[in-house]
Amino acid sequence: MGLVSHELEKGMTIVWPPLVRGTGKPIQRISQGKDLKMRQNIKIWKKQQIFPSFWQKKLGDTISLCMIMRNEEKRLTRCLKSVKGLVDEIIICDTGSTDKSIQIARAHGARVLQDPWRDDFSRPRNIAIAAATMNYILILDPDEVISHMDHSTLREHTRHPEIIAWRMDTRNYTDNPWQQNTHQNPGDFLNAKNFYGFVPSIKTRFFQNHKNIFFQKIWHELLDYDILKYKYKLAASPVPVHHYPGEINQASIEEKRKFYLRLGRKKAGLDPKDCQAQWELAVAEHIAGNHGRAYKACLLSLRNGIYGSDRLYFLAALARAKGGVKEHRLIFEKAVCKTYPNLTHINPVDKTPLHAAPKKPGPPNLISERPAHIPAPGWPKINIPTDFIDPMSPDPRIQIPEKEFTISAAHTTKKTIPPKEPLQKKPKKRIKHHIKKPNKKRSTQKKEEK
**Whole-angstrom Cα distance, residue 184 to residue 177?**
8
Q: Give the residue, 153 or 367, on which the prediction is more confident.
A: 153
Model confidence band, residue 129 (pLDDT cutoffs 50, 70, 90): very high
Write out pLDDT tens, residues 59-70.
578 999 999 999
- For the chain, the average pLDDT equals 76
Euclidean distance between the first and the last CA atom of the chain, given in angstroms as a whole number: 163
Per residue in 253-268, pLDDT (tens digit) is 888 899 999 999 999 9
Let me know whether 86 and 233 are in one domain.
Answer: yes
Tell me, yes or no, whether 281 lies in a domain: no
DSSP state letter for 348 = T
Q: What pLDDT, on a 0 to 100 scale, did the predictor assign at position 373?
A: 45
Q: Is the pLDDT of residue 341 over 70?
A: yes
- With a CB cutoff of 8 Å and minimum separation 6, the contacts of 317 are 328
Strand, helix or coil at 290?
A: coil
289-294: average pLDDT? 94
Length of the chain: 450
Shared domain for 32 and 130, answered yes or no, is no
pLDDT score for 233: 96
Position 121 scores a pLDDT of 96
Cβ neighbours of residue 101 closer than 8 Å, sequence gap 6 or more: 69, 70, 71, 72, 73, 76, 94
Strand pairing category for 234-243 and 144-145: antiparallel
Torsion angle in degrees (nearest 10) through CA of 302, 304, 306, 311: -10
Of 21-30, 82-91, 298-307, 350-359, which gets the smallest average pLDDT? 21-30
Instruction: Specify the range with the lowest mean pLDDT, choosing from 30-44, 105-119, 121-135.
Output: 30-44
Q: Are residues 215 and 110 in the same domain?
A: yes
Residue 74 lies in a domain: yes
Asked if the structure places residue 93 within a domain, the reply is: yes
Kindly state whether residue 172 falls inside one of the protein's structural domains: yes
Same domain, 96 and 44: no
**Phi, psi dihedrals of residue 353, rounded to the nearest 5°:** -60, 145
Domain annotation covers residue 254: no
Could you give the CA distance from residue 135 to residue 56 in angstroms, rounded to a whole number?
13
The number of angstroms, rounded, from the C-alpha of 14 to the middle of its chain's C-alpha atoms is 44
Burial class (CB in 10 A: 0-12, 13-18, 19+), 342: exposed
For residue 160, tell me if it sits in a domain: yes
CA atoms within 13 A on the CB side of 64: 20
pLDDT grade for 323, boundaries at 50, 70 and 90: confident
Kindly report the three-state secondary structure assignment for every residue of 128-165. HHHHCCCCEEEECCCCEECCHHHHHHHHHHCCCCCCCE
Is residue 152 domain-resident?
A: yes
More confident residue, 128 or 358: 128
Model confidence at 54: pLDDT above 90: no
pLDDT at 427: 65
**Structural domain for 104, as ranges:** 62-243
In terms of domains, do 144 and 40 share one? Answer: no
> Within this chain, do residues 174 and 77 fall inside the same structural domain, yes or no?
yes
- Among the candidates 16, 32, 51, a domain finishes at 51
Provide the residue type at 43 as one letter.
Answer: K
Are 28 and 87 contained in the same domain?
A: no
Cα separation, 23 vs 184, whole angstroms: 18
CA 102/CA 96 separation, integer angstroms: 10
Calpha distance 135→63 (Å, rounded): 6
Q: Are residues 34 and 159 both part of a single domain?
A: no
**CATH number for the domain that contains residue 92:** 3.90.550.10
CB count, 10 Å around CB of 119?
12
Residues 34 and 106 in one domain: no
Paired residues of 64 in beta bridges? 89, 137
Mean pLDDT along residues 282-310: 92
Q: Residue 67 pairs with which residues in a beta bridge?
A: 92
Least confident piece of the model among 53-67, 80-94, 348-362, 373-387: 373-387
Mark which of 243, 272, 302 sits at the end of a domain: 243
Judgement on whether residues 43 and 74 belong to the same structural domain of the protein: no
Confidence of residue 190 (pLDDT cuts 50, 70, 90): confident
Do residues 107 and 201 share a domain? yes
Look at residue 306 in the predicted model and tell me its pLDDT.
87
In a domain, 185, yes or no: yes
Mention every residue, 6+ apart, whose C-beta is less than 8 A from residue 149. Answer: 21, 38, 41, 42, 45
* Shared domain check, 24 and 94: no
Per DSSP, the three-state class of 420 is coil
Q: 28-32, 60-64, 133-137: which range is least confident on average?
A: 28-32
Total domains present in the chain: 2
Which of 190, 223, 243 is the last residue before a domain boundary?
A: 243
Q: Which residues contact 69 (CB under 8 A, 6 or more apart)?
A: 76, 92, 93, 94, 95, 97, 101, 105, 142
pLDDT the model gives residue 398: 41
